[in-house]
Structure 1
């Protein structure tokens, strides 16, 4: 099944790419100004609780790109998606469209979070105290929103 991209899909995809490439450009341009020791872990309050060499930041870059590419790959194959509802000829287009929105919005949130987790250590800053709760609310709220819509679309 081929699910056409909407304008919202295209905008979200470009935002993801802009964040990933922008973060990479920032690191390359500012590499000489990044301190030799950077935060490598934060507690739930956003306070720095571990330090490491600045090269460790590339680990987070690799993870962010791997997740982005992995999600993008899965996004192309609706046949492997677990819909959670029975797919019929009547509801298939709507359910798969909603699932694609769920995947795309989750990818956007993940990309924003990882960009933040790259930029803040590079600037040697603690995360804002609101970062963890906002991230968790966004991620779970996003999933709940789309899953409820999928559940309602099954009929």
Structure 2
């Protein structure tokens, strides 16, 4: 790529899958916040604050610590939302050119969108797990949470890289 070539800033409408992903991600995220608000007065003073790799609670903390989860989710998800809007600044291989820029941008934006929504869902699930354990509803995910998290993040990344490799 020539150093004098400037990446075009293209207006690419969101795809149906991106819109559906946003609806799911935001609904689950805001649903977990609604659950937290609804259950707040029922929560005990001490709630799970940290889990080990087996999904076991290894630290208990004040229920106000639960507020950290939606805040971090909002910060990370919000940052991903901003990054998603500017695909021309993403990292691309040398073969990016005017002819394939649209395809590269769309693939990169879709990956960013998927990861953003996965992040929203992950923070929602951590909140739900902590509320469930604190209220003696059991541990819905337990030892499966970490493998589910790893797979849910890794699969879109691998798929996204494979898709980009096919772009000529």
Shorter chain as denominator, the TM-score bin is over 0.9
> Whose radius of gyration is greater, 1 or 2?
2
Match for residue 18 of structure 2?
Answer: 9
Residue 143 of structure 1: aligned partner: 157
Residue in 1 that maps onto 2:4: none
Partner of 1:106: 115
Once the two structures are superposed, the pairs formed by residues 3-152 of structure 1 within 5 Å of their partners are 3-124=12-133, 125-126=138-139, 127-152=141-166
Tell me how far 1:128 sits from its aligned partner: 2.1
Unaligned runs of 5+ in 1: none
Give deviations 1:22-76, integer Å, cap 9, x for gaps.
Answer: 1111111111111210111111110110110000000111000111111101111
With over 3 angstroms needed to count, the CA separation of the structure-2 counterparts of 1:134 and 1:85, relative to structure 1, is farther
CA gap of 1:85–1:41, structure 2 versus 1, over 3 A, is farther
CA distance in 1, matches of 2:84, 2:41: 37
TM-score (norm 2): 0.86
Instruction: Give the whole-Å Cα distance in 2 for the aligned partners of 1:84 and 1:45.
Output: 38
Q: TM-score, normalised by structure 1?
A: 0.93
Tell me how many residue pairs correspond in the alignment: 154
Report if aligned partners of 2:26, 2:117 keep a CA contact under 8 Å in 1. no
- Cα distance between partner residues in 2 of 1:49 and 1:150: 41
Aligned structure 1 segments of 4 or more residues deviating by more than 4 angstroms: none
CA contact (8 A) 1:85 1:151 kept: no
